[in-house]
Amino acid sequence: MDLLRFLTAGSVDDGKSTLIGRLLYDSKNILIDQLEAIERSSKAKNNGTVDLALLTDGLRAEREQGITIDVAYKYFSTPKRKFIIADAPGHIQYTRNMVTGASNADLIIILVDARNGVVEQTRRHSLIASLLNIPHVVVAINKMDLVNYSEEVYNNIVEDYAKVAQALNLNDVVYVPISALDGDNIVDVSEKIDWYKGSPLLEYLEEVEVKGNHNLVNARFPVQYVIRPQIDELHDYRGYAGKIQSGVYKKGDKVKVFPSGAEAIIKAIELNNKEVDEAYAPQSVVLHLEEDVDISRGDSIVKTDDNLKVSQDIDAIICWMDEKPLTIGSKYFLQHNSKVVPAIVKEIKYKLDVNELKKEYEISSASLNEVVEVKLKTASPLAYDAYNSLRENGGAILIDQTSLVTVAAAMLQ
Amino acid sequence: MSNYQLDYLDQLESEAIHIFREVAGQFERPALLFSGGKDSITLVHLALKAFRPGKFPFPLVHIDTGHNFPEALQFRDELAEKLGEKLIVRNVEDTIKAKHLTEPKGKFASRNQLQTFTLLDTIEEFQFDACIGGARRDEEKARAKERIFSVRDEFGQWDPKLQRPELWNIYNGKIHKGENVRVFPISNWTELDVWNYIRRENIELPSVYFSHEREVLEYQNQLIAISPFIQIDETDTIATRKVRYRTVGDMTCTAAVASEAYSVDDIISEIITSKTSERGETRIDDRVSEAAMEDRKRNGYF
C-alpha cells in the first residue's frame, strides 16, 4: 500500500477542520469514543450540531478561540491508500505553521469559500504551494450549500483561480465543488451538485499518482552519522549512515564526496543490517567505500556521473517566519540536510507581493510571513541542488544564532 | 525491488531511522525513554537498525512509577541485557520520599503526574539534552500537534504556541543550556502501523499484550487489574476475565480489554474491527479533562 501526504489550506473559517472531520467521518475512520468526545464538547458549546472541527483542534487555546493555531496531523486509510493529513492554520499570523505542513506534502487542498471566492489567503497559500513545489493542487470550493449549489458561482471561482495558477506556474490543478458541513462530494457523489461531472474528493485523493514524486535519477546521499563499532572483531568497520534522498545506489558505483571532491567506489550497501546489491530513495542505509577517504556528518556522497552545485554564494527564496525582521547584514546558521554553516544576508533582491503576485524591489528588510529572494554568503562551501530541479536537496532552514529558533524556510536557487 | 516503490511501512521505518541518526549526530547526551511497552520496544528495534553493528549512542532510561506490570519490567530488563545496552532506572518512589511529594488520592489515583518530577530530575542528573520517546500523533489530539523535535524549556515545559517550524526532513536540535528536546521518531505511525510492523519484523512483546486470564475490577465499563495499588470498595465487582492490554502504562490507570487475541494476527484483526481508540478504551488518565494530556505535557510530561 502506498502513502499520500497532503495538506489542507485556506482562509480562516473556510472549513478546513470541518473538511477533515468529514473525510474521517464519512470514510468511517472516526472511532466511537472520539465522536462521543466531540459530541460532548459540541453540546457544551450549545450549538446543537456536532462540530467536526473539534476533531483536529487539539489545543486548549484552539478550542477556546475556535481557530487552528498549529498544524494537526491526522491519519486515515482506505483499502486503496494510507493518508497523512496536515491540517494547517488559516490565520495569517500562523502562516509559518502552514509552511511546516506544506514542506512534506505531495498534494495541497486549498479551500475557497464559495461566497467569498479567491481572497488574499488563497493567493498566499497558492504562492507557498508553488514555492515549495507541491506536485498536486486541489481547489475545493466549499460551502456550495450557501450559494444554492450554483454552477455559475463555481465557474466564476474556477476562472479566477485559473489566473492565479497560471501566474504561479501551478501545473496540476483540480477543482471540486463541496459542502464539508453536509458532506457533498467529499466521500460520496453529491446529488445536489448534479452538474459536476468529476470525482468526489476522496476518490481523487485515492487515485492521484504519487509515484513520480521521488526522483530516481540524480543520486544524493547526505551522511548523517559514521558508524564505527571500535571493537576487535569489527576493527575495520566504518559505515556511512544516512537516508538516500534521491536516486539509486548500487554496489560498485563510482562516487564522489562533496564538498572535498574525493572519489571512491561503493564496496557494500547495508539495509537494515543486511547487505544488499542496491538501494534507492527514500531508504535509510549504510554505505561502505573501498577507499579510505575522509568523510564526516554533513558531507554528501554523489555518483560521479552527476553533479551538484558547490558554492558559498547562494541565492535563496525564503519564507520569513520570525517576529524579529530579516535585515541585510544579519548572520544566521544555515542548516541544509545534516550540515550547519554560518551564513550572512548580503542582499535582498526583491519581495513577492502576495496579492498582485509580483516582485517589489529596493527592499531592506522582511517581516513575519513575507516572501523574499536573498543573496546569502556561507562560511564554507555548500553542496546542493536548486530546489526546483531537486526538491529533496534544495531545501534549507535559517536559524537565529541567539534565540536558536528556526526563522526561515529557504528554497536554494 | 525493481520498481523502486517503497511500501508505507518501509517509508515510516526509514523516516524513523533517519530521525534516530539525527539525534545521534546533533546531541551530546541523548537518552531513549524505554518502558517495556510496545511503542518503546518498537523504538529499540528501530535503533538496532539505525546503529548496529555499533552500540546505541544513548542509554535506555525508564522512569518506574512502582505501579508497573511485573511482566513489562521483566521484559525491560531481559531485553536490555540481551542487547548489551545500558539501562538506567529511576524510581518515582524515591522522588516522593526525597521531595516529600503528596500521593494523589481517590479511587484510581495514579502516579502519572508524579512521574514528571522523576523524569525532570533524571534529565538533570544525567544532563540529557534529548529524550527519545515513543509517542504517536494518532494517540491523542494534543499529541497530534507536536513536532518530531519538540523543544522543552528548563522547567521541561512544552509551549504549543511557540513551536519551531519543522521543514522537510531538516530537524533543528539547537538548544540553550538547561533546555532539552523530546524526539518522537514514530510520530507518524498509527496503532495499527505499529502492530503491522511488529508482525512483519517478528518483534517480541511482554505477555500482557496477549489474551490471558486476570482478576479485574469492573468500573464504568473499564476493566482494571487487581493489584495492591488500587482501592477496592465493598460495592466493587471483581471477576476473572479473559483480557489483554492495548497499552501498557501503570496498573492503576491502564484498563484491560476483553479479548481472545492470542497472537499478533489476532490482535490486528481485533484492532481493525475495534470501534474505540487505543487511549479512549484504556487510559483513565486522559479522562480527567478534555485537555488532560496537553496540561501534563505543558508541565514536562513526556
Low-confidence ranges of chain A (pLDDT < 50): none
| Average model confidence (pLDDT) across chain B | 88
**Nearest CB to A58; choose among B4, B142, B276:** B142
pLDDT at residue number B287: 53
pLDDT at residue number B31: 97
For residue A32, which residues of chain B lie inside 8 Å, CB to CB?
A: 275-276, 280
Answer whether A224 touches B (CB < 8 Å): yes
pLDDT at residue number A110: 95
Give A 375-394 residues with CB within 8 A of chain B: none
CA distances for B176 relative to A404, B87, B257, angstroms:
8, 27, 44
Low-confidence ranges of chain B (pLDDT < 70): 1-2, 278-302
CB of B244 within 8 A of CB of B210? yes
Answer whether B299 touches A (CB < 8 Å): no
Which residue in B43, B39, B42, B41 sits closest to B30, CA to CA? Answer: B43
pLDDT at residue number A50: 67
pLDDT at residue number B1: 43
For residue B147, which residues of chain A lie inside 8 Å, CB to CB?
A: 100
Answer whether B51 touches A (CB < 8 Å): yes
Distance CA A355, CA A200 (A): 30
pLDDT at residue number B99: 85
Asked if the Cβ–Cβ distance from B48 to A273 is below 8 Å, we say yes
Asked if the Cβ–Cβ distance from A227 to B25 is below 8 Å, we say no
Distance CA B63, CA B34 (A): 8
CB of A196 within 8 A of CB of A114? no
How far off is chain A from B10, nearest CA to CA, in Å?
8
Distance CA B125, CA B6 (A): 42
pLDDT at residue number A45: 63
Asked if the Cβ–Cβ distance from A395 to B170 is below 8 Å, we say yes
Q: Nearest 5°: phi and psi at B40?
A: -75, -25
For residue B51, which residues of chain A lie inside 8 Å, CB to CB?
A: 227, 241
b/e code B109-137 from CB counts within 10 Å (16+ = b): ebbbbbbbbbbbbbbeeeebbbbbbbbbb
Residue A66 region, left (φ>0) first, then alpha (ψ -120 to 50), else beta?
Answer: left
For residue B10, which residues of chain A lie inside 8 Å, CB to CB?
A: 283
**Nearest CB to A33; choose among B6, B143, B280:** B280
For residue range A170-214, list pLDDT tens digits in order. Answer: 989 999 999 998 899 999 999 999 999 999 999 999 999 887 667
- The complex scores an ipTM of 0.92
Asked if the Cβ–Cβ distance from B294 to A104 is below 8 Å, we say no
For residue range A140-180, list pLDDT tens digits in order. Answer: 999 999 999 999 999 999 999 999 999 999 989 999 999 99
